[in-house]
Every structure is written in structure tokens, then in C-alpha cells.
Structure 1
């Protein structure tokens, strides 16, 4: 088979859909999974105008759903070259207000959803002798703004999982990348669970007023995936603040983050 094959969870909208189009434009066969079948049908029609494409209803909280996709890919396309564990949700709220039931909800999707995807598809890639796992985290997995403990914890876990797997799976000729974008315009705000109205509004403002959209971020991410980069930070300002965290004494970085947090939470100056 000459064409490369990719599977993307959460591929019916947002970054997942934008990435699917990048892969399609590059000649990949594209399989997308999602829980929104209506958006899935729309995305599939868009992709089929460019390449061989397929849609699977796929709930990442169910290992059996991911295994069914892996089985289909093996049976119909002979395997898969790249898997993007992209499906995710958002949350906001203080540690004393955010309910444990919502912690469990976001952990099940953002962390265990990635774990399930890596577990299922690493096995397939080991059998075929190669592959590339791409896990979508967030800049929030590298730095930690206030009132986002649950979201930051899940994304930091995705970074840690990816760091482990790039070592663990190297002998199997399986590459690993972790994507850590800052805020960009997408439909992620639709999924936000917040402990209060102010946190909900702040999260939505940060997404809706971002300078870049999903298409722009996807093109940068796709280029980095093709280069085989491990840490993929598509925002230059995100790369800069990550460097500052690594280089500055924590007391200095903490002061910087407190100042930035006041700006982020302001109703009059969200950038």
C-alpha cells in the first residue's frame, strides 16, 4: 500500500477535523472517530472529496470502541501509520468548588482516553513493526494557571505518558509526539465544565478571543508530526513561557504567572 494511513480521535470538529484535512491534503488515507455522528458525517464528506476516508463512532471512554477501530483498520486498510489521540474536554474552577464527579469525568476522557488509545494501537503497531503515536495535551500540561487544576492535571499526565512511551516504544520502531498548544479558537469551549459562572465565562473568553484558529494550529502541528518532533508547541509564546519555567527559579516564575493570571482572568483584557 503506497498511501499512509492515519486515525484521529475527536476528528469530527476542532483541531481533530483540521488535522484530518491536513493529512488528507498530504495524501493520507484518513479515518476519524468521534461521538458526534452528525459532525462526523459532515467531516467525512469533506475528507472524501480529497482522499480515501472513513468515519467510526468512537467513544474513547470505552476500550472496546478503540479496539473495534483498530480491528477495522487492520482488516480494511492493512494497519495504520499514525494515530492521533486528540479527543478531549475542558474544565475550570477552584480546587474547593470543582466537584469530584467532574474530576472523574475529565480524567476518564483526557487521561484514560489517551491511555486506551496508546494501549490498543501500540499493540497493533508492534505487530506491524512501526507507527507513530501523537498525543494531544496542552500548554496547560507544562505550565499551570490558577483555577484549572483538573484540566492541567490531565494534560500534565498526557505529557508524562508520552515521555514514558517515547522511551518504552523506541525498540519497537514506534515514534511518539506530544502536542501542547496554547489557547486557540475552537469548539472546545462547548465541552467546558466549570464550578461557577465566572470560571465558565473566563474559559470561553480565552478560547473565543484567541488570535489563531484550529486550521492555523493544525498546519503547524502537522508539519511537526511529519518531522517526527517529540514536543510540539505550535505557539511561539507558549515555547517562550515553557523555557522560562525551565530556566527561572520557581519564585520568579510564580510571580510571572500570578501577573499573567490576573490578565487572563480579566474581563477587559483577555488575549
Structure 2
């Protein structure tokens, strides 16, 4: 039985992971930004170093440590580079990238002392393949992948495993977090999320399997896997697909400008 902390655990993929961990008999601390939540819940804003310190203290006092840290909390964002504002960039960097950094920094001393532990960082297929009109989201998710790879080597001598999760679109409430000036891009992203045939529980099942196998790169669905393989092994095809997407976006933007 493992001791598990999940951020963003009140909804979406986080809630699905919490449910699966609990069903398998693990001790699970669900954390999120709301003041109250389910049993074994702790309010944790990933932007707050103080909240992270409190989470470490809770785990040490109640459990004597932690086995699996799941840095899952995040928001959806995106937009054309000349439309999305710098304030929007600051927000997504602070939550989706620096939130993960803060979690890793907070619990790494615990894992080093234990000589054991597993960090699981939720990125996205957007961390591996980079469609147009998604600069900020692609950038932070690629950063999570890079951070995870770095730590997989850095923490290996201490017996600490690291995994990074890279799913494609799946049905969740993530679309509710989309804000910003590029409303056209926001509408497209929301549609892709809501119309996906995959559920958060489908993705969680693949993530749990990857964690058990101690996989570094966990790609839990076929569309994400195929996109990654296309980029790696058929780069000209990948580039053509990305540029078709960009061309269609240009056509829509020009049509909208003409009224």
C-alpha cells in the first residue's frame, strides 16, 4: 500500500486517479484549491509555496512520508502568439509549469531522505507535439516533460522514480478553465475536449498501469501515441499536418475579419 498525494484531485483526471488509487487500497490525500473536499482532503494552491510546505508537513505528521506525488493540477489555455496576452502567459506558466516545479522542490527532500519515492507529472501530448495556435500551452507542457526527464536522472541515485503523463484530449471540465483574448481558439479547444470519445477514467487507467511499470513516458491513449510517433518517424508528414491546421486557422481569421 502506497501513500499518494494528488493535486487537482477534485475533478477531471485528478479525481479519476484518486478513485483508482483508493480502489486499489492506497492511502490517498486529495488536494485542490477549494476550501473543502472529500475525505482525506487538503486545500492546496500549487501557486503557493506555503501550501506546499503545509502539504509536506501533513504527509510527514500523518503518514511519516510519501510514496507517490502526482503533480496533476493545471489549466487549459492557448491562442495565437499575437492575440494571447502576456498576462495569460504568466498565469499558465505559474500554474502548469511552476506549480509542478514547486511540488517537485517541496517533496524532493522527503524522497531523498527516504531513498525512495515516485514523482508523476501530468504534462500533455502538447508537450511532445506542438500544434499551431497553442504556444503557451505547448511551451509549459514541453517544460514539464523536460523537467521530468531532468529529474529522472538527477534523482535516480536516491532511488526516486519519475514519470511524465502525456495524454491527448479527453472529456473533462478542463475547458472551463480556458480564459483569454483568443476566443476562437478557446472555442476550438473546448469542442475538442467535450467531443473526445475518451473519459478521464480511461486516461487514469493507463496512467496507473504506467506508474506500476515505473515508465518514464506514459502515453495513455492511441491518438497521443500516434501523433508522437508521426513526429519522430515521419517528420515531413507531421509538418504538413501542422501547417494544414495553421492554414485553416488563417482562413477562418481572415473570414472573421471581413465580417
Pair in the same fold by TM > 0.5: yes
Q: Is the 8 A contact 1:202 1:265 kept in 2?
A: no
Question: Offset of 1:203 from its aligned partner?
Answer: 1.1
CA root-mean-square deviation: 1.8
- Superposition TM-score, scaled by structure 1 size: 0.89
Question: Offset of 1:256 from its aligned partner?
Answer: 2.2
- Look up the match of 1:164: 150
Q: Is the 8 A contact 1:206 1:264 kept in 2?
A: no
Structure 2, unpaired ranges of 5+: 253-259
Does residue 1:182 correspond to 2:168, yes or no? yes
Q: 2:190 aligns with which of 204, 207, 210?
A: 204
Task: Give the Cα separation in 2 of the matches to 1:96 and 1:263.
Answer: 17
Does residue 1:259 correspond to 2:244, yes or no? yes
Q: 1:106 aligns with which of 92, 100, 104?
A: 92
Counting matched residue pairs gives 252
- Look up the match of 1:51: none
Q: 2:228 aligns with which of 242, 248, 265?
A: 242
Q: Is the 8 A contact 2:230 2:237 kept in 1?
A: no
Q: Is the 8 A contact 1:94 1:195 kept in 2?
A: no
Question: Offset of 1:220 from its aligned partner?
Answer: 1.2
Task: Give the Cα separation in 2 of the matches to 1:183 and 1:16.
Answer: 15
- Look up the match of 2:214: 228
Q: Is the 8 A contact 1:5 1:28 kept in 2?
A: yes
Within a 5 Å distance, the mapping from 1:54-203 to structure 2 comes to 54-203=40-189
Question: Offset of 1:261 from its aligned partner?
Answer: 6.0
Task: Give the Cα separation in 2 of the matches to 1:13 and 1:203.
Answer: 18
1:169-190 deviations in Å (ceiling 9; x for gaps): 0000000000000000001001
Question: Offset of 1:206 from its aligned partner?
Answer: 0.7
